[in-house]
Structures are given as C-alpha cells and as structure tokens.
Amino acid sequence: MVEADETTFSAGIGIGVLLAVVGVLAYILTDFASATALIPSIFGILFVFLGQLGRSAGRQRIGLYGLGLFALLGLGGSAQGLGDVVAIATGGAAEQPIAAGSQALMALCCLLLLGLVGWAIVEER
C-alpha cells in the first residue's frame, strides 16, 4: 500500500483519540445528563481500532474502508452541530451549546478523515 495509507491510519488514530476525549469531556460538562454525549467517544474508539487494524499486514483495505464508512456515518450523524455552532457564532442561540460544539467538532474530524480516506483510495488506484 502507499504512503497515503500510513498517513490515513495515523490520522485515524489521532482523530480517534481526540474524539474519545471530546466525548468524555462533553459527558462531564453536561453533568452526566445524557449518555449520547459519549457518541464521539464510541466513534473515536472505532477509529483507533480501525487505524491500528490498517497498520497490520494484510488488513490495510479493511482498515481503510472501515475508516471511510464510519467517517461517513459520523459526518451524517453530527452535521447538524455545524449549523448550531454557526448560529452561536453569529449571535444566535442553540438549545444545547455543549452538544452543538461536540457535534461540530466530530463532523469536522469525520470530514477530514473522509477526505484522507478518499485520497488514499485514489492514490491506491
């Protein structure tokens, strides 16, 4: 596999760690009110696992496509947060600002990871 894959797997692990921390912080900052605040952590753990799996010999394709699939799912599920953060930044309000920030960060991370996966797939061909 190409060097782009190693970059993608490393980014997947880094983004996974970041999302795991974001999820735990969101859960703590919302006074443990909702377990859904941990969703970024779940995706983060998946990204770390798939990044490590992709580094294994013979498992690159599974890791790469797994990262792409879960990045797409994560982006779809958290894209609403981007709009909420824009509303907050322009003087508006959001019902749950911590959730909005967590979702927006997850959406941006997933978008970045999805772009890296796409680049790695193009480079592979």
Q: Domain segments of the chain: what residues?
A: 3-120
pLDDT of 1: 53
Amino acid letter for position 15:
I
Q: In the 8-state DSSP scheme, what is residue 56?
A: S
**CA 13, 15, 18 angle in degrees (round to 5)?**
110
How far is Cα 30 from Cα 37, in angstroms, rounded to an integer? Answer: 8
How far is Cα 107 from Cα 112, in angstroms, rounded to an integer? Answer: 9
pLDDT of 28: 95
Q: In this structure, are residues 30 and 39 in contact, taking their beta carbons and an 8 Å threshold?
A: no
How far is Cα 15 from Cα 20, in angstroms, rounded to an integer? Answer: 8
pLDDT of 84: 86
Residues in the chain with pLDDT values less than 50: none
